[in-house]
């Protein structure tokens, strides 16, 4: 008995995602992922000042706010040969880490947890027992019976009011929910704690960048200045604030997020064999410790893994036209040279070509074009990007922090290393990464303070700020990692203005439709074999899709149809 089900909107994500899945005998046999919104940012960038691009592209996404600004600044700096001062790099690293920690925690509690946590079941919990469990997991000070009782009472009122708000029509009581009432209570309690805490950590962005979401960046460095003899700059009070935010972040991650993750995962070990999907992983890496050009110095390493072979990590070059290409066989665009070819972003050419059904529609034509996302490939391979890809590349490259913590997590869950290739593994990798990154923040902060102590306070490189110093034409690429995975911007500058600008973003890798050869991307591949107990309540599908932390506004884009040859630019 085969049934085609549609999930639209997929909620608790960023953007507009539609999943169509074919379910046969309680198992997903085929799946189609579609991005249903487009804005056209790249076309809008053409002709503008390259130094403004960070602000435009930052607005690609307000959830992973900052990452596009960073990629954009780097692409311009690469094109113009600008090296930023170490302090600017440290501030960028701190903002990067703060973004990761905040984003991952919000994802776990507010976007992902309700796939595993039954809010209604917690009404039956015993607050005293819940407190005992919570205290056995960590030293988090709010784990007392009174607090849990208060949370429970609050939610009871909520449910009894008949207005369930964000919890209305959830899949409560579905047999796929396996947590005891007390663990559900702990998780919901921490859902609220996380809501309180997440607005604190982003104050690091406000201190260095003026606001969050969408803090300010600057080509050539960062806009803030250090002066420990001045109230009007980043001074000791500001640095103290950053230090305490880092400390609190480490506490929250270690006492709330990671213990919850492990406790919940322990009840869902069957998900260590579901949702693995592709066998290839790609990471651009980030967090330079000796300058952006020294790729070997990145704390998050760069590389690609094929066929889950952790003994070999392939090199990745964003400028090699043979490596990254985008296809549009199933995307609502057209190419001048035919829709079957793949183009490197430097040769981008795109035109809207909507061939789908006129809204309102019930189903998309999945035989033809069915998404606003293009389909990127690395050396023709579909790749998974994200925390799991980053942790696997780091693990395979022998990063000791990652190896150690992955070992601890696998040991606590009593699962083999192959468990990483799954929905559960993806979610666990995100937690591992969060804990490591939170600690790295401390290192960057200490180095920053040491620099200032030694009189090194520069935050901006001035020599190519003035467009009169620029060459007539230049191209560059900015590679980084968004919380959701590998992110890159390609820029071409001509006569002091943007001639061509392209982004290939994480959710484009993961959420894209099939390519010309019919190869599925991550979402579609990972859904195959997923059990679906009740087609009207597809909570299992949400578990796997949410494990990728979808971000669709980024994933959809449009670039200039000039389609011209760009010469290779060498890193030197």
Partner 1 sequence: MSVSRESLWETMKEKGYSRREFMEFCGFAAVAAGLGTQATAAVAATFEKKGRPPVVWLHFQECTCCSESFIRGSHPVVADVLLDAISLDYTQTLQAAAGTAAEKCLHDTMKNYAGKYILLVEGSVPTGADGAYCCIAGESAEEILRKAARDAAAIIAWGNCASFGCVQAAKPNPTNATAISRLVGKPVINVPGCPPIADVMAAVVTHILMFGRGPELDALGRPKEFYGRRVHDTCYRRPYYDAGLFVDAWDDEGARKGYCLFRMGCRGPVTYNACSVTRWNGGVSYPIQSGHGCIGCSENGFWDNGPFYRHLPSTPGFGIESTADTIGLGLGIGVAVGVAAHAVTTNIRKRPLIAETVKESSPAGQTEDEGAK
Footprint (CB under 8 A) of partner 1, residues 531-560: 536-538, 542, 553, 558
Of 4, 7, 159, 262, the one binding partner 1 (CB under 8 A) is 7
Q: How many residues bind partner 1 (CB under 8 A)?
A: 111
Segment 34 to 53, residues that bind partner 1, using CB under 8 A: 36-41, 43-44, 48-49, 51-52
Nearest residue (CB) to partner 1, 262 versus 457: 457
Instruction: Name the strand (E) or helix (H) holding 177.
Output: none
**What is the contact mask toward partner 1 in residues 174 to 203, using x (rule: CB under 8 A)?**
------------------x--xx-xx--xx
**For residues 35 and 54, is the Cβ–Cβ distance under 8 A?**
no
Position 208 contacts partner 1 (CB under 8 A) = yes
Position 223 contacts partner 1 (CB under 8 A) = yes
Contacts of 4 (CB under 8 A, 6+ apart): 20, 21, 22, 23, 363
Q: What's the rounded Cα separation, in Å, for the pair 82 and 206?
A: 25
Nearest residue (CB) to partner 1, 7 versus 310: 7
Give the Cα-Cα-Cα angle 287, 293, 297 (nearest 5 degrees): 45
Position 153 contacts partner 1 (CB under 8 A) = yes
DSSP state of 286: B
Nearest residue (CB) to partner 1, 417 versus 473: 473
> What three-state secondary structure class fits 1?
coil
DSSP state of 381: B
Nearest residue (CB) to partner 1, 197 versus 271: 197
* Nearest Cα to Cα of residue 431 among 486, 482, 386: 386
Segment 493 to 532, residues that bind partner 1, using CB under 8 A: 495-497
Q: How far is the CB of 214 from partner 1 (least distance, A)?
A: 6
Q: What's the rounded Cα separation, in Å, for the pair 427 and 279?
A: 17
Q: What's the rounded Cα separation, in Å, for the pair 396 and 403?
A: 9
Of 3, 124, 175, 211, the one binding partner 1 (CB under 8 A) is 211
Of 27, 128, 150, 473, the one binding partner 1 (CB under 8 A) is 150
**What is the contact mask toward partner 1 in residues 62 to 91, using x (rule: CB under 8 A)?**
xx-x--------------------------
Q: How far is the CB of 339 from partner 1 (least distance, A)?
A: 18
| Burial zone of 110 (CB within 10 Å; 0-12 exposed, 13-18 middle, 19+ buried) | middle
Segment 444 to 473, residues that bind partner 1, using CB under 8 A: 457-460, 462, 465, 467-468
Nearest residue (CB) to partner 1, 309 versus 363: 363
Position 291 contacts partner 1 (CB under 8 A) = no
Position 567 contacts partner 1 (CB under 8 A) = no
Instruction: Name the strand (E) or helix (H) holding 134.
Output: helix 127-137
Position 163 contacts partner 1 (CB under 8 A) = yes
Q: How far is the CB of 119 from partner 1 (least distance, A)?
A: 7
Task: Say what the alpha-carbon torsion angle 7, 11, 12, 13 is, to the nearest 10 degrees.
Answer: 80
Full 3-state SS string of 105-119: HHHHHHHHHHHCCCC
Stretch that binds partner 1, among 290-298, 350-358, 426-434, 472-480 (CB under 8 A): 350-358
Q: What's the rounded Cα separation, in Å, for the pair 172 and 541?
A: 15
What residues form DSSP beta bridges with 444? Answer: none
Nearest residue (CB) to partner 1, 324 versus 553: 553
**What is the contact mask toward partner 1 in residues 357 to 386, using x (rule: CB under 8 A)?**
xxxxxx---------x--------------
Of 108, 171, 268, 370, the one binding partner 1 (CB under 8 A) is 171
Stretch that binds partner 1, among 178-186, 299-307, 352-360, 437-445 (CB under 8 A): 352-360
Position 227 contacts partner 1 (CB under 8 A) = yes
Segment 240 to 259, residues that bind partner 1, using CB under 8 A: 241
Stretch that binds partner 1, among 22-30, 131-139, 221-229, 446-454 (CB under 8 A): 221-229
**Long-range pairs of 529-532 with CB within 8 A, sequence gap ≥ 24:** 529/27, 529/28, 529/274, 530/27, 530/28, 530/274, 530/275, 531/26, 531/27, 531/28, 531/274, 532/5, 532/21, 532/23, 532/26, 532/27, 532/28
Nearest residue (CB) to partner 1, 110 versus 308: 110
Position 169 contacts partner 1 (CB under 8 A) = yes
The widest CA-to-CA distance across the chain, in whole angstroms, is 74
Q: How far is the CB of 350 from partner 1 (least distance, A)?
A: 11
Of 2, 25, 161, 454, the one binding partner 1 (CB under 8 A) is 161
Position 110 contacts partner 1 (CB under 8 A) = yes
**For residues 428 and 409, is the Cβ–Cβ distance under 8 A?**
yes
Burial 207-236 (b: 16+ CB within 10 A, else e): bbbeebebbbbbbbbbbbebeeeeeeebee
Segment 327 to 346, residues that bind partner 1, using CB under 8 A: 332
Of 127, 180, 181, 220, the one binding partner 1 (CB under 8 A) is 220
Of 136, 139, 175, 210, the one binding partner 1 (CB under 8 A) is 210
Q: What's the rounded Cα separation, in Å, for the pair 192 and 150?
A: 12
Give the residue numbers annotated as catalytic, written as ranges: 14, 61, 64, 68, 484, 507, 551, 554
Angle of helix 86-106 relative to helix 236-252, nearest 10 degrees, comes to 40
Q: How far is the CB of 140 from partner 1 (least distance, A)?
A: 17
């Amino acid at each position: 008995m085969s049934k085609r089900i549609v999930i639209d909107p997929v909620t608790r994500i960023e953007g507009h995602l539609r999943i169509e899945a074919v379910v046969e005998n309680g198992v997903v046999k085929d799946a189609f992922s579609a991005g249903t919104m487009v804005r056209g940012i790249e076309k809008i960038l053409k002709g503008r000042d390259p130094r403004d691009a960070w602000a435009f592209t930052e607005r690609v996404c307000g959830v992973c706010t900052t990452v596009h600004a960073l990629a954009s600044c780097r692409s311009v700096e690469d094109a113009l040969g600008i090296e930023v001062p170490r302090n600017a790099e440290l501030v960028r690293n701190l903002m990067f880490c703060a973004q990761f920690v905040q984003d991952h925690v919000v994802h776990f509690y507010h976007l992902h947890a309700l796939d595993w946590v039954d809010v209604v079941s917690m009404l039956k919990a015993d607050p005293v027992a819940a407190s005992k469990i919570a205290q056995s997991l960590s030293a988090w000070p709010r784990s007392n019976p009174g607090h849990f009782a208060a949370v429970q009472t609050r939610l009871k009122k909520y449910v009894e009011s008949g207005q369930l708000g964000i919890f209305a029509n959830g899949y409560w009581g579905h047999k796929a929910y396996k947590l005891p009432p007390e663990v559900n209570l702990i998780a919901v309690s921490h859902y609220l704690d996380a809501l309180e805490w997440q607005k604190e950590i982003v104050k690091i962005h406000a201190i260095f960048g003026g606001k969050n979401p969408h803090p300010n960046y600057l080509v050539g460095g960062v806009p803030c200045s250090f002066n420990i003899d001045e109230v009007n700059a980043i001074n000791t009070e500001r640095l103290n604030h950053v230090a305490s935010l880092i400390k609190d972040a480490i506490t929250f991650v270690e006492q709330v997020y990671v213990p919850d993750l492990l406790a919940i995962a322990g009840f869902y070990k069957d998900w260590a064999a579901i949702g693995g999907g592709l066998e290839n992983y790609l990471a651009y890496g980030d967090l330079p410790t000796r300058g952006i050009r020294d790729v070997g110095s990145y704390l998050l390493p760069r590389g690609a893994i094929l066929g889950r072979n952790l003994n070999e990590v392939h090199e990745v070059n964003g400028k090699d036209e043979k490596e990254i290409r985008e296809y549009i066989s199933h995307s609502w665009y057209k190419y001048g040279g035919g829709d079957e070819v793949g183009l490197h972003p430097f040769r981008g050419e795109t035109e809207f070509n909507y061939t789908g059904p006129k809204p309102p529609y019930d189903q998309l034509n999945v035989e033809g074009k069915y998404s606003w996302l293009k389909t990127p490939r690395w050396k023709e391979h579909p790749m998974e990007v994200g925390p799991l890809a980053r942790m696997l590349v780091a693990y395979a490259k022998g990063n000791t922090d990652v190896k150690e913590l992955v070992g601890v997590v696998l040991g606590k869950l009593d699962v083999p290393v192959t468990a990483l290739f799954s929905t559960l593994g993806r979610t666990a990798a995100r937690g591992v990464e969060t804990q490591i990154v939170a600690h790295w923040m401390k290192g960057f902060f200490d180095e920053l303070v040491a620099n200032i102590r030694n009189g090194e306070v520069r935050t901006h490189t001035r020599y190519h700020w003035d467009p009169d110093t620029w060459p007539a034409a230049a191209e560059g690429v900015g590679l980084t990692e968004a919380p959701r995975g590998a992110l890159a911007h390609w820029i071409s500058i001509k006569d002091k203005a943007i001639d061509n600008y392209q982004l290939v973003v994480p959710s484009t890798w993961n959420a894209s439709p099939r390519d010309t050869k019919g190869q599925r991307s991550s979402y579609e591949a990972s859904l195959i074999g997923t059990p679906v107990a009740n087609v009207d309540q597809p909570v299992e599908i949400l578990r796997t899709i949410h494990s990728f932390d979808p971000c669709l506004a980024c994933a959809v884009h449009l670039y200039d149809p000039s389609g011209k040859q760009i010469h290779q630019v060498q890193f030197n």
